[in-house]
C-alpha cells in the first residue's frame, strides 16, 4: 500500500513542504503540508490519519464532518485530529490558510499486529473514534519527533521513526479505540527472547553501514515488530534506535583512529548518508567535530 497516495487524493491543492516518500520508512508515512483556504474533496481513508498543527494560524478553523459528526476546531500549535480507516469525510472546509501541518499515516496492518500480539480482536484501525481537538501530550511528542526527522534526516532516524510509529499505534488503539484486555496471555516466546535479541544485536553490528529497519531486525529475531521493540528495550535497556545510534558512533570513533580512512569513508561505513549528516550527528553526540576528535586523540594529517 502506498500510504502517500492518501495525501495526493485528499489534498490536491496543498503545498508539500516535506515528505517521507523516498525515506524507505516501513509501517508509517508522513507529510508536512501547507493548506490554502477552501473545501477539500470527500474521501474514505484506507489508513489511519493523524494530523498535527505545528504552527498557529490566527483566525483559522477547520470544519469537517465524518461518521455523521460535525466538528469545528480552531487551529493552534499542537491541535490534533484523528481520522480512522473507513470513516468517510464528506464535508471539510479550511477557513484560512494553514502554513504548516503534519500528516502521519499508519497502515491498517499495524493495528492487526497489535491485536495479534495481545490476543484482542477488538483492536482494529476502523474502531478508532473520529475526533478533533485531541489533547494528548504523548501523541504530540511523537508527532514532533517524527517531524524533526522528516525535516532533517539523521543517522538511524528511520529506526527512530518506525519505533515511534509502533508507540503511536499502541497509543491510538489504547486511548481512542477499544482497550487491550486486562490480562494478556503470556507469550510462549518470552523465555527465548534474550537469545533472539542477541541475534538482532549481532546483526546490527555486522550491518551498521546499512539502513536498518525495525521490521528487518524483528524478522532476524523472529518476533513481531511490536514484541521486538518491547523486548529489545527490556533486554538492553535501550530502544533499537538508541542502540543503533550508539553503535554507529562507537564504530565511527574506531574508524577515525585509522589514518588511512577519510572522514567521508568513516561516515559511510558507520551508516551515515553523507559526511555532512555524520558531522552534525557526531558533534551533537560528542561535542566536537570528527576532525577535532582526531586532533584530540593525537591524529595529525
On the question of pLDDT at 80 being above 90, the answer is yes
pLDDT tens readout for residues 157-199: 899 999 999 999 999 999 998 643 333 344 444 445 788 899 9
On the question of pLDDT at 137 being above 90, the answer is yes
- 251-296 sits in which CATH class? mainly alpha
Q: Which pLDDT score, from 0 to 100, does residue 1 have?
A: 63
Q: Which pLDDT score, from 0 to 100, does residue 182 have?
A: 36
Tell me the C-alpha distance between 36 and 290, whole Å: 44
Tell me the C-alpha distance between 203 and 145, whole Å: 26
pLDDT tens readout for residues 186-241: 444 444 578 889 999 999 999 988 888 888 998 898 887 888 888 898 899 888 98
Tell me the C-alpha distance between 248 and 47, whole Å: 34
Q: Where in the chain is the domain with CATH 1.10.10.60?
A: 190-242, 251-296
Percent of all residues in the chain with a pLDDT value above 70, rounded to a whole number: 94
- For residue 126, give the 3-state DSSP assignment: helix
pLDDT tens readout for residues 239-268: 898 899 889 999 999 999 888 899 999 999
pTM here is: 0.72
**CATH number of 5-176: 3.40.50.300, 2.40.30.10, 3.30.70.20, 2.60.120.10?**
2.60.120.10
CA atoms within 13 A on the CB side of 29: 18
Specify whether the CB–CB gap between 129 and 176 falls below 8 A: yes
- Classify 100 in phi/psi space as left (phi over 0), alpha (psi -120 to 50) or beta: beta
On the question of pLDDT at 39 being above 80, the answer is yes
Q: Which pLDDT score, from 0 to 100, does residue 56 have?
A: 87
C-alpha dihedral over 192, 196, 198, 199, to 10 degrees? Answer: 150
Nearest CA to 134 out of 80, 78, 171, 175 is that of: 80
Tell me the C-alpha distance between 90 and 67, whole Å: 9
Tell me the C-alpha distance between 65 and 42, whole Å: 10
CATH architecture designation of domain 190-242: Orthogonal Bundle (1.10)
Q: Which pLDDT score, from 0 to 100, does residue 178 have?
A: 60
Amino acid at each position: 500500500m502506498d500510504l502517500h497516495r492518501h495525501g495526493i487524493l485528499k489534498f490536491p491543492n496543498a503545498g508539500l513542504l516535506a515528505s517521507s516518500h523516498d525515506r524507505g520508512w516501513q509501517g508509517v508515512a508522513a507529510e508536512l503540508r501547507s493548506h490554502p483556504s477552501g473545501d477539500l474533496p470527500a474521501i474514505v481513508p484506507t489508513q489511519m490519519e493523524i494530523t498535527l498543527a505545528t504552527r498557529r494560524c490566527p483566525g483559522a478553523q477547520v470544519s469537517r464532518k465524518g461518521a455523521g459528526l460535525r466538528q469545528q476546531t480552531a487551529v493552534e500549535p499542537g491541535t490534533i485530529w484523528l481520522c480512522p480507516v473507513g470513516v468517510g469525510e464528506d464535508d471539510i472546509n479550511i477557513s484560512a490558510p494553514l502554513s504548516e501541518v503534519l500528516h502521519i499515516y499508519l497502515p491498517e496492518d499495524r493495528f492487526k499486529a497489535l491485536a495479534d500480539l495481545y490476543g484482542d480482536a477488538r483492536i482494529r484501525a476502523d474502531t478508532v473514534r473520529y475526533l478533533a481537538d485531541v489533547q494528548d501530550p504523548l501523541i504530540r511528542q511523537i508527532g514532533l519527533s517524527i517531524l524533526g526527522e522528516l525535516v532533517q534526516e539523521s543517522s538511524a532516524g528511520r529506526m527512530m521513526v518506525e519505533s515511534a510509529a509502533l508507540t503511536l499505534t499502541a497509543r491510538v488503539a489504547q486511548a481512542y479505540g477499544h482497550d487491550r484486555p486486562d490480562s494478556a496471555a503470556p507469550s510462549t516466546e518470552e523465555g527465548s527472547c534474550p537469545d533472539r535479541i542477541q541475534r538482532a544485536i549481532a546483526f546490527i553490528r555486522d550491518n551498521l553501514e546499512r539502513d536498518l529497519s525495525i521490521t528487518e531486525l524483528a524478522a532476524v529475531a523472529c518476533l513481531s515488530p511490536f514484541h521486538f521493540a518491547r523486548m529489545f528495550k527490556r533486554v538492553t535497556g535501550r530502544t533499537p534506535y538508541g542502540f543503533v545510534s550508539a553503535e554507529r558512533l562507537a564504530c565511527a570513533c574506531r574508524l577515525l583512529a585509522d589514518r588511512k580512512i577519510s572522514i567521508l569513508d568513516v561516515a559511510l561505513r558507520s551508516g551515515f548518508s553523507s559526511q555532512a549528516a555524520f558531522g552534525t550527528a557526531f558533534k551533537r553526540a560528542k561535542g566536537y567535530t570528527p576532525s577535532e576528535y582526531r586532533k584530540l586523540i593525537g591524529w595529525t594529517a
